[in-house]
Amino acid sequence: MLSMVWRWLPQRSSVSGEARVAAVLVWLLVLILMLGLGLPLLFIFAKAVQDGDGGFVGLRNLLQVLDSPGLMRACSNSLQLGVTVTALVVPLAFVFAWALLRSRLWGRGLWRQIGLSPLLAPSLMPAISLVYLFGNQGLLKGWLHGGNIYGFWGVVLGELFYTFPHALLIIMTALSAADGRLYEAGRVLGASPLRQFFTITLPGVRYGLVSAALVVLTLVLTDFGVPKVVGGDFNVLAVEAFKQVVGQQNFPRGAVVGLLLLLPAILSCMVERRMARRQQAALTARAQPFSPAASCWRDGVALLLLLAISLLLLSLLGVGVAASFIRYWPYQMDLTLLHYQFDMVDGGGWAAYVNSLQLASATALLGSVLVFVGAYVCEKLPGAALGRGVLRFLAMLPMAVPGLVLGLGYVFFFNHPANPLQGWYGSLGLMVLCCVAHFYTTAHLTAATALKQLDGEFEAVAASLKVPFWVTLWRVSLPVCLPALVDVARFLFVSAMTTLSALIFIMTPEHSLAAVSIITMDDAGDTAAAAAMASLVVLSSAGVSLLLSLLERLLGQRSQRWRRPG
Amino acid sequence: MKKQMAVWLGLACSGLMAPLAQAATTLTVYTALEADQVKDYKEAFEKANPDVELRFVRESTGVITAKLLSEKNNPQADAVWGLAATSLMILDQQGMLQAYAPKGVEKLNKQFVDKANPPKWTGMDVWAATICFNTVEAAKKGLPKPESWADLTKPIYKGQIVMPHPASSGTGYLDVSAWLQMMGEKSGWDYMDKLHVNMAQYVHSGSKPCKMAAAGEYPIGISFEYRGAELKEKGAPIDLVYPKEGLGWDLEATAILKGSKNLAAAKKLADFSVSLTAMQLYEKNYAVLAMPGVAKQNPYIPADYAKRLSKNNFAWAAKNREAILQEWSRRYESKAAPKS
């Protein structure tokens, strides 16, 4: 009896040692996310009720903003823009997704890549292309019949390009979850394809459509790349926040504008939560995957739709790239690499590009490790329940925080004279933290989904075999989830390469970045150089994506063999 | 393997965390000089002073001024090299500048040096308003060449003009300040009301209007002579117009920030900034210099250029800058965009 107790004791202590490690890990992750996310956000709220010297002024800043006609005009412009773009891009993305998933066209993988290609470019790319296409010296200027691209419709077009892939991804996910039995039943009951579309397809993706609309709305409201380049006199709130903080160094007012921009994001998160609760599982265990029947007529329409939208997307990507090689648009149209000599223009030169590559690589590397460990402790570890709850909340928070707001928070928090980390301000490390925090949610969800597919029994068995969780993590979970992890790394790399909104506020001249330098060059009137830098960003994102896809495939062959039957 | 990884990790972390170690003094210099000038100026200074490395923070005049003012209690810059004198005078009013008479300051034209003794700032060169006029596009649209500021308000130029935003650009502010001084406040604002009707865009920087004119994006850009001459030299189809009423102008100037931790190095910069070597650098870009006798004739800039400059009361322009910008923003930013 006593010997049994003795045998039980050391085992218990080793388990509690493991639990302690787990708890420390959980709280460490909470600490990192608090630093990179929670505290900066709190500082925005604090700054919004202070004057320039840090004294408490209550709602005075807010009232001042509400009282300034320019800002209120920007506010209504932003809303108008957001609603218009959302109303246009959601149907377009739906049509594209429908043509991809509900037809039997050849080369759907390629079409999908084209549809998602805008993800590779900073939002400035379509804006620059628009200037070359429809500007006063644009190729297709005649199409406007004396109209002008600078202003509302120019921004709408640019934002269409920028938000399209985000809407497409969500709607594709919604559309791919279709139950073949419903269509079968519809067909048997004599419903025409049109009727099937309106009574089965559309209701089935309702949730996806609303979700896409909310994401697009938030993206448009907080993007300032497009309005900065083709906005002309059309002022929007996001540009106003930038002007207040960078242009006039009016931090309290910038904080108020930032908070205004946080509102729609929080609102759409709440709506989404409500809808998700009401949404029933679209696919039950008995569902049969839907596979479209052969139909020349339908495939023809799908092909036309895909062609039309792809042409639009590719032209907004391609014209900018092409223009970057032209000596002196529109007077000397010979080809040159002159505009790639970035040292003669503003923005930090080639160093900015190298910085961006470093930033993106570090974000991809450190970010995917952090995200994976975070997802693992959330999904698989018992204990530290409070910490895991906080961690889950923090992991979902970035979805509701526009990059612009996060960047402002970083300025207020990390550049505060009393902050011991102030020396870190302006360093590449801080920018990496900012990027990881900014893109945390999507990465976390990808990793968590992959981990959820693994049976909890692995951990149970490991525990009963007295194998500590880190061994299970290293030997079982990690290899199985590697493809998802590569996906996360790719997402983080491309996002860090193209993002503008958060980093523009915390960048210093030593660490200028490619995406930000595009704005600087355009501000100085060097449009061709801006186009050249944007092309480089697209090229590198595409190159790295391709490399990681190959890696993913290779890993798939090696470590995912067990997934295949036989 | 593990050791190797540790080394790599250490390297990666140190690269991320530590600012680059530097051997010599690093002097933080705020500037509104053009990006293509900064490179040459930096090289020349560091060649003359190998123990000092310049760390430039470059932004447009309005942004740099706002940045300096916001850092008043915790200055980040050691010195300013190449910022509008009107901006420096605002900083001086806030007591932010360190008085210092650079070696050789007596060789400069008194008019281009701060009146205080020792001076708080020293001038480098004059830059002035110039209209870039795209002859190719104007011919297509049948636009006559404007000769005066008044011409620009003619209805024929509606939607054809771009100018820099005076809050962000020093070139924009010198235009506004000169119109108000030349025409008097009331007629000055009346003039800008009419000009606003013709304005296609207010842009961020002083160079951009000329670059846009050079690219034919808009046929008329209100800019300054350096950018105009540089683009014309490159082959842009533009004519430079120097309006007959007079050209608004400002001085690019140098100053040391009070409280600089690198005062000795900052003084070296101030000394260099008024030296003949530096003047010869400025000469490549500007026609009127603080040191008499250095300037050469630029083929694109008229010989009597200095006489065309308008009368400029710097003290007035500096004192009223904030009020003018506020009024400007009230008139032209908060109202609906004028075009369809």
Nearest residue in A to B221, CA atom: A525
Residue A54 lies in a domain: no
Q: Give B-chain residues touching A244 at CB under 8 angstroms.
A: none
Nearest residue of B to residue A528, measured between CA atoms: B215
The answer to whether residue A334 neighbours chain B at the CB level (below 8 Å) is no
Find out whether A84 and A216 touch, Cβ atoms under 8 Å.
no
Domains of chain B: 22-126+250-301 (3.40.190.10), 128-249+310-332 (3.40.190.10)
Write out residues 262-301 of A within 8 Å (CB-CB) of B: none
Does A472 map to a domain?
yes
Question: What tokens were used for A4?
Answer: 């049994």
Residues of B in contact with A131 (CB under 8 A): 217
pLDDT score, position A280: 61
Residue A321 lies in a domain: no
Q: Is residue A350 part of a domain?
A: yes
Question: CB under 8 Å to A138, separation ≥6 — which residues?
Answer: A130, A131, A132, A149
Contacts of B166 in chain A (CB under 8 A): none
- Comparing CA positions, the residue from A137, A155, A233 lying closest to residue A527 is A137
Contact at CB, B215 and A509, closer than 8 angstroms = no
Q: Rounded to whole angstroms, how far apart are CA atoms B159 and B339?
A: 8
Question: Helix or strand or coil: residue B292?
Answer: coil
User: What residue ranges of chain B have pLDDT lower than 50?
Assistant: 1, 11, 13-15, 17-23, 335-340
User: How many contacts, defined by CB atoms under 8 Å, are there between A and B?
Assistant: 112
Distance from CA of B274 to the nearest CA of A (A): 25
Whether the CB of A70 is below 8 Å from some CB of chain B: the reply is yes
Task: Please classify residue A546 by burial: count the beta carbons closer than 10 Å to its beta carbon, then call 0-12 exposed, 13-18 middle and 19+ buried.
Answer: exposed
- The residue in chain B having the minimum alpha-carbon distance to the alpha carbon of residue A421 is B17
Is some CB atom of chain A closer than 8 A to the CB atom of B142?
no
CB contact under 8 A, B205 and A524: yes
Q: Which two tokens stand for residue A449?
A: 């989904």
The answer to whether residue A394 is domain-embedded is yes
Question: Measured between CA atoms, how close is B103 to chain A, in angstroms?
Answer: 30
Selected residues 103-132 of chain A with any CB under 8 Å from a CB in chain B: 131
Q: Whole-angstrom Cα distance, residue A276 to residue B124?
A: 65
Which residue matches tokens 């007035």? B316
Cβ neighbours, 10 Å, residue B71: 15
Question: Which of chain B's residues have a Cβ under 8 Å away from the Cβ of A346?
Answer: 35, 58
Q: Is B327 on the interface with A (CB under 8 A)?
A: no
Distance in Å, alpha carbon of A341 to nearest chain B alpha carbon: 12
Instruction: Answer whether B63 sits within 8 Å of A246, measured CB to CB.
Output: yes
| Residue A194 confidence (pLDDT) | 87
> How many domains is chain A partitioned into structurally?
1
Q: For chain A, say whether B50 makes contact (Cβ under 8 Å).
A: no
- Which site among B87, B322, B334 would you substitute to test the A interface, given the most A Cβ atoms closer than 10 Å to its Cβ? B334
> How far apart are alpha carbons B64 and A459 in whole angstroms?
58
Residue indicated by tokens 């005078």 = B89
B235 at the A interface (CB within 8 A)? yes
Bond prior to B119 in cis (omega within 30° of 0): no
**Sequence-distant (≥ 6) Cβ neighbours of residue A268 within 8 angstroms:** A214, A215, A217, A218, A400
B324 closest CA partner among B166, B144, B211: B166
CA distance B80 to B55: 11
A250, A253, A328, best to mutate vs chain B, most B CBs in 10 Å: A328
As a whole number of angstroms, the distance between CA B93 and CA B258 comes to: 13
- B337 with A248: Cβ contact below 8 A: no
The pLDDT value given to residue A381 = 83
Under DSSP, the state recorded for B54 is: E
- The SS3 call for residue B74 is coil
Is A427 a member of any domain? yes
pLDDT in 10s for each residue of chain A, 566 residues = 455 444 544 444 455 778 888 899 999 999 999 999 999 999 998 888 888 777 888 888 888 888 877 788 899 999 999 999 999 999 999 999 999 998 888 888 899 999 999 999 999 999 999 999 999 888 898 888 878 899 999 999 999 999 999 999 999 988 887 788 888 899 899 988 889 889 888 888 888 899 899 999 989 998 989 999 999 888 899 988 888 888 778 888 888 988 888 888 888 888 888 887 776 655 566 777 788 888 888 899 999 999 999 999 999 999 999 999 998 888 888 999 999 998 878 888 899 999 999 999 999 999 999 999 999 998 888 778 899 999 999 998 998 888 888 998 998 899 888 888 888 888 899 999 999 999 999 999 999 988 988 888 888 888 888 888 889 889 888 988 888 899 999 999 999 999 988 898 888 877 889 999 999 899 888 999 999 999 999 999 999 999 998 998 888 777 666 666 54
User: What's the rounded Cα separation, in Å, for the pair A566 and B58?
Assistant: 64
CA distances from B256 to A204, A506, A553, B266 (A): 68, 26, 59, 6
**Which sign, positive or negative, has the C-alpha torsion A518, A522, A525, A526?**
positive
Interchain CB distance below 8 Å, B17 and A331: no
Whether omega for the bond prior to residue B118 falls within 30 degrees of 0, making it cis, is: yes
Distance separating alpha carbons of residues A257 and A66, to the nearest angstrom: 10
The whole-angstrom separation of Cα A139 and Cα A131 is: 9
Mutation to test the A interface, candidates B16, B137, B223, most A Cβ within 10 Å: B16
What does the DSSP 8-state code read for residue A103? S
Helix (H, G, I), strand (E, B) or coil at B37: helix
User: Looking at residue A131, which CATH number applies to its domain?
Assistant: 1.10.3720.10
| Chain A residues near residue B212 by CB distance under 8 angstroms | 525
Which helix (H) or strand (E) is B53 found in, with range?
Answer: strand B52-58
Decide if B161 touches A, using CB distance below 8 A.
no
- In degrees to the nearest 10, what's the CA dihedral of B79, B83, B87, B89? 60
Q: How far apart are CA B33 and CA B79, in angstroms?
A: 14
From the list B57, B66, B339, the residue facing A248 with the nearest CB is B66
β B161-164/B25-31 pair status: unpaired
State CA B201 to chain mean position distance.
19
Cβ atoms of residues B93 and B68 within 8 Å = no
Q: Could you tell me where the beta strands, DSSP code E, fall in A399-545?
A: none
B179 contacts B192 by C-beta, under 8 angstroms: yes
Amino acid at B321: R
Among the partner residues A247, A346, A525, nearest to B167 by beta-carbon distance: A247
Q: Is residue A322 part of a domain?
A: no
| Interface contact flag, B66 A247, Cβ < 8 Å | yes
pLDDT of residue A9: 47
Nearest CA in chain B to A417: B74
Residue range of the domain that includes A130: 12-49+59-283+295-315+327-563
Provide the residue count of chain B: 340
Q: Are B132 and B228 in contact (CB under 8 A)?
A: yes
**Chain A contact present for B15, CB below 8 A:** yes
Q: Does B205 touch chain A (CB under 8 A)?
A: yes
pLDDT given at position B246: 95
Axis crossing angle, helix A349-380 with helix A2-33, rounded to the nearest 10? 150
pTM for the model stands at 0.87
d(CA B28, CA B19): 14
What is the distance between the alpha carbons of residues A193 and A196, in angstroms, rounded to a whole number? Answer: 5
Query: Between β-strands B121-134 and B238-241, what pairing exists: parallel, antiparallel or unpaired?
Result: antiparallel
Instruction: Count how many Cα atoms sit within 13 Å of the Cα of residue A316 in the half-sphere of its side chain.
Output: 30
pLDDT tens profile A140-175: 988 888 788 999 999 999 999 999 999 999 999 888
- B210 lies within 8 A of chain A by CB: yes
**Model confidence pLDDT, tens digit, residues A46-104:** 888 888 777 888 888 888 888 877 788 899 999 999 999 999 999 999 999 999 998 88
Predicted local confidence at residue A370, as pLDDT? 96
Confirm whether A247 is domain-assigned: yes
Please give the Cα distance from B126 to A301 (Å, whole number): 65
Q: How far is A388 from chain B (nearest CA, A)?
A: 28
Is the torsion defined by CA of A511, A515, A516, A520 positive or negative? positive
Contact between B146 and B241 (Cβ < 8 Å): yes
Give A233→chain B minimum CA distance, Å: 6
pLDDT in the model for residue A93: 96
The letter for the amino acid at B90 is I
A-chain CB neighbours of B234 within 8 Å are 328
Instruction: Please measure the distance between the N-terminal and C-terminal CA atoms of chain A and give it in whole angstroms.
Output: 49
Q: How far apart are CA B327 and CA B146, in angstroms?
A: 27
Cβ–Cβ < 8 Å for B265, B27: yes
Q: Which of A404, A540, A533, A541 is nearest to A128 (CA)?
A: A533
Give how far B200 is from chain A: nearest CA, Å.
8
Task: Could you list the beta-strand ranges (E) of A100-153.
Answer: none
Question: Three-class SS of residue B15?
Answer: helix
Q: Do A525 and B136 touch (CB under 8 A)?
A: no
What is the tens place of the pLDDT at every residue in A308-322? 999 999 999 999 999
| Beta carbons within 8 Å of B267's beta carbon, 6+ residues apart | B100, B102, B256
Q: Which residues contact B322 (CB under 8 A, 6 or more apart)?
A: none
CA B254 to each of CA A291, A407, B25, B210: distance values in angstroms, whole numbers, following the listed order = 73, 32, 19, 26
* CB A167 within 8 Å of CB A212: yes
Question: A399 near A441, Cβ under 8 Å?
Answer: yes
Min Cα–Cα distance to chain A from B128, Å = 18
Chain B neighbors of A64, CB-CB under 8 A: none
A8, two tokens: 């039980």
Query: How much is the pLDDT for A5?
Result: 46
Tell me the CA distances in angstroms from B179 to A147, B176, B189, B207, one per residue in order: 31, 5, 8, 20
Out of A70, A234, A525, whose CB is closest to B208? Answer: A525
Do A345 and B205 lie within an 8 Å CB cutoff?
no
Q: Are A55 and A247 in contact (CB under 8 A)?
A: no
Tens digit of pLDDT for each residue in A492-527? 999 999 998 889 888 887 788 999 999 989 988 899
Whether residues A523 and B208 touch (CB distance < 8 A) is answered with: yes
* B73: nearest CA partner in chain A: A53
Tell me the CA distances in angstroms from B109 to A266, B97, B308, B315, one per residue in order. Answer: 60, 21, 18, 18
A523/B202 touch (CB, cutoff 8 Å), yes or no: no
Tokens 């904030």 found at: B322
Q: Which residues of B touch A150 (CB under 8 A)?
A: 200-201
Question: What residue type is assigned to position B207 of the chain?
Answer: S
Tokens encoding B31: 């500037």
Probe site for chain A from B217, B232, B325 (most A CB atoms < 10 A): B217
Q: If 0-12 CB within 10 Å is exposed, 13-18 middle and 19+ buried, where does residue A203 land?
A: exposed
B74 by Cβ neighbours in 10 Å (0-12 / 13-18 / 19+) ranks as: exposed
Q: Which residue has the tokens 């292309």?
A: A129
